[in-house]
């Protein structure tokens, strides 16, 4: 709670029993957690044997950390002592990888490690780690512009999820004379988040301008998106000097003043620069929940140039219209969006339908809602309600014990389980998710049930979430620790479905999860908050080392959730936001409303990206938990309610 970043860092699992699985899978002592005896068929139990994290395991963990830092000397030293370690591919990968990158994470351009990389790719062909190694090597090949080898390897890159590599692939095509206009279209389709642009993309954009495939205005728009996020050097490399650079800077610092000043000075700029400046000013006004955001975006809309607005400016244009109940602006903003941006988030399909409905175009609105009514997310639920449909969980598809048992010998699961046991979640997730590729829905459900039986609940959710046609929402929305949580919730009259919806979002049921700011456990309770709640409820002799205890964590988290609910007048929207960002912020956002506002609009216009996503997911989760646990399908729109402006008062809650 009260977190701006929720990148989970998970402390070592305190597992007391682990079972050895898959002895023939190239790693004779790979381990997995031993589940409770009653939860597995005998075919699992026959494989069981106790194990502990060994000194050799700890050396392997140290090797991984040295590789993360690209410490060549240390990785060479440690890997030489792990020659017989079962994860031979990881030992080799961690030894080679620092030879490809410098201490700052930039790819090296020399050829010294090429032979080792090629040998690795041949030996471990078809594995998740080979694909990761290929990704690393492609960055090196791209930097040194070895396009022949790059193209050969890029064709084999399975995940193809690296923005830098994509930029290098287009630079390769450009060097070979492919149509620069087409390449520019491809570039604009994925250069959406400046956090991932990197060196290759900063080279690609000006190269496309020089080749005539991209206009200077389009390049400046990409650069401006970086500047809006604080990447000023990157912005200049991408688009050169921006005529409105100072306005961008002023808008970030004080959007209200920038708005007033630009009203006086806008005539000095070209029509294009006026339009994009109003878009930037509108974005930062909207993030401050300033009513003038609607006016700024109105001025931009009259001038045009929607395509030159950043993704952030395009999205906040819709939100500014929602906050002002300006359905005409909402409709125009969504119609002017980059099609890639518009299609990525069902929010824009839903709000477009609502804008059409506000204009009396009911038939077209219905068509818009029908585009997302089969999606099991926040806006899919709202769309179904607009269509008069229920939000019951879909019928359950069952899998056989034979299907589930088959998952125990899947190589990626065997390896993943052992990596999780060593708290190497990044690597564990890679192995687990690689195994899920190309599975049918029934296989995914069998894998999710297997994960449930070995108590990897985050993998239960992750795996069951992937099904397309056949579902089991008892796996998507599992209820572990119910014996502990139910009496706590009952005692304080806290809605159990909501509590589960929050835990699913907070920790994915990883018992020892911890955030970068110190929140920990199933309910991600902050230490200071824990002390406050413990004192309020009379929990004697509480110390923060007890926060890792499941019952203590659930007790403190549930009581705090109930406290913020009372403090925020019973609104699940406000209380969920408060649990994540703090009660004072939730109250401040409510205070800035100019009139009663439906809860869905309030949620969509929360200024913090993380909290906005968090609130929508928690409330969507809660509805499905109601369906799974009680067979009830309450209206999400009614649960969101209407939120009225109210003067913010000081809360004693942390």
3-class secondary-structure state, position 46: coil
3-class secondary-structure state, position 179: coil
Distance CA 211, CA 206 (A): 9
What is the per-residue pLDDT for 516? 78
pLDDT in tens, 164-180: 999 999 999 999 999 99
547 pLDDT band (50/70/90 cuts)?
A: very high
pLDDT in tens, 226-282: 999 999 999 999 999 999 999 999 999 999 999 999 999 999 999 999 999 999 999
Q: At what angle do helices 292-303 and 311-323 cross, to 10 degrees?
A: 120
Mean of the pLDDT values across residues 624-650? 96
Q: b/e string for 80-102 if b means 16 or more Cβ within 10 A?
A: eebeebbbebbbbbbbbbbbbbe
pLDDT in tens, 484-498: 999 999 999 999 999
Residue 165 CA, chain-centre distance (Å), reads 21
3-class secondary-structure state, position 18: strand
Token pair 């994470």 is found at 105
Distance CA 153, CA 125 (A): 12
What is the per-residue pLDDT for 130? 98
Q: Which DSSP state fits 548? A: G
CB atoms within 10 A of CB 631: 9
Tell whether the model's pLDDT for residue 27 goes beyond 80: no
Average pLDDT of every residue of the chain: 92
Among candidates 253, 249, 307, 255, which has minimal Cα distance to 286? 255
Integer CA distances (angstroms), 243 to 269, 308, 470, 563, in order: 9, 14, 53, 50
Integer CA distances (angstroms), 639 to 399, 498, 603, in order: 34, 11, 12
Burial (Cβ within 10 Å: 0-12, 13-18, ≥19) of residue 640:
buried
What is the per-residue pLDDT for 51? 56
pLDDT in tens, 565-611: 999 999 999 999 999 999 999 999 999 999 999 999 999 999 999 99
Distance CA 129, CA 131 (A): 5
297 within 8 A of 328, measured Cβ to Cβ? no
Q: Which DSSP state fits 391? A: -
Token pair 């960002």 is found at 581
> Which CATH fold topology does 401-476 show?
1.10.1240
How large a percentage of the chain has pLDDT more than 90? 90
> Which CATH fold topology does 482-643 show?
Lysozyme (1.10.530)
Mean of the pLDDT values across residues 351-356? 98
């Amino acid at each position: 709670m009260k977190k701006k970043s929720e990148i989970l860092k998970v402390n070592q699992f305190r597992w007391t029993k682990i079972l050895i699985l898959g002895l023939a899978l190239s790693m004779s002592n790979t381990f997995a957690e031993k589940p409770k005896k009653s939860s597995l068929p005998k075919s699992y139990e026959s494989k069981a044997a106790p194990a502990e994290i060994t000194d050799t395991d700890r050396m392997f963990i140290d090797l991984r950390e040295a590789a993360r830092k690209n410490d060549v000397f240390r990785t060479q030293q440690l890997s030489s002592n792990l020659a017989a370690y079962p994860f031979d591919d990881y030992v080799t990968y961690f030894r080679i990888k620092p030879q490809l990158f410098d201490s700052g994470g930039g790819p090296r351009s020399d050829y010294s490690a090429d032979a080792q990389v090629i040998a690795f790719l041949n030996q471990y062909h078809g594995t998740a780690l080979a694909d990761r190694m290929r990704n690393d090597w492609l960055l090196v090949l791209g930097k040194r512009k070895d396009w022949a080898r790059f193209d050969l390897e890029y064709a084999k890159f399975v995940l193809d999820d690296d923005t830098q590599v994509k930029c290098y692939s287009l630079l390769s095509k450009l060097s070979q004379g492919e149509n620069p206009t087409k390449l520019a279209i491809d570039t604009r389709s994925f250069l959406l988040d400046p956090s991932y642009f990197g060196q290759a993309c900063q080279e690609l954009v000006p190269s496309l301008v020089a080749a005539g495939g991209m206009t200077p205005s389009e390049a400046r728009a990409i650069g401006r998106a970086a500047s809006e996020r604080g990447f000023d050097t990157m912005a200049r490399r991408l688009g050169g000097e921006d005529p409105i650079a100072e306005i961008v800077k002023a808008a970030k610092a004080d959007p209200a003043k920038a708005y007033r000043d630009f009203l006086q000075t806008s005539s000095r700029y070209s029509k294009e620069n006026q339009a994009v400046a109003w878009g930037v000013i509108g974005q930062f006004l909207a993030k401050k929940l300033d009513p003038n955001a609607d006016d700024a975006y109105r001025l931009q809309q009259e001038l045009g140039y929607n395509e030159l607005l950043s993704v952030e400016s395009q999205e906040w244009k819709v939100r500014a219209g929602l906050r002002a109940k300006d359905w005409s602006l909402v409709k125009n903003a969504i119609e002017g969006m980059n099609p890639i941006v518009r299609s990525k988030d069902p929010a824009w399909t839903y709000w477009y339908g609502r804008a059409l409905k506000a204009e009396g175009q009911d038939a077209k609105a219905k068509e818009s809602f029908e585009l997302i009514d089969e999606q099991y997310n926040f806006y899919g639920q709202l769309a179904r309600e607009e269509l008069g449909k229920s939000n019951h969980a879909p019928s359950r598809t069952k899998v056989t014990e034979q299907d589930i048992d088959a998952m125990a010998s899947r190589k990626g699961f065997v390896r993943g389980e052992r990596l999780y046991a060593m708290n190497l979640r990044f690597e564990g997730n890679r192995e687990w998710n690689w195994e899920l590729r190309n599975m049918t829905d029934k296989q995914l459900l069998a894998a999710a049930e297997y994960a449930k039986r070995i108590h990897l609940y985050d993998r239960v959710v992750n795996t069951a979430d992937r099904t397309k046609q056949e579902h089991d929402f008892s796996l998507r929305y599992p209820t572990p620790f119910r014996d502990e949580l139910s009496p706590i919730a009952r005692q304080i009259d806290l809605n159990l479905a909501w509590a589960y919806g929050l835990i699913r979002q907070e920790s994915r049921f990883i018992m020892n999860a911890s955030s970068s700011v110190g929140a920990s456990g199933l309910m991600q309770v902050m230490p200071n908050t824990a002390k406050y709640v413990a004192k309020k409820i009379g929990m004697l002799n509480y110390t923060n080392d007890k926060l890792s205890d499941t019952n203590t964590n659930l007790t403190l988290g549930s009581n705090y959730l109930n406290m913020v609910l009372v403090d925020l007048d019973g609104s699940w929207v406000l209380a969920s936001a408060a649990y994540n960002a703090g009660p004072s912020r939730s109250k401040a956002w409510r205070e800035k409303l100019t009139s009663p506002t439906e809860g869905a609009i309030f949620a969509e216009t929360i200024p913090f990206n993380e909290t906005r996503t968090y609130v929508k997911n928690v409330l969507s989760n809660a509805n499905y938990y109601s369906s799974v646990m009680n067979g009830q399908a309450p209206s999400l729109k009614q649960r969101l309610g209407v939120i009225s402006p109210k003067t913010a008062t000081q809360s004693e809650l942390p």
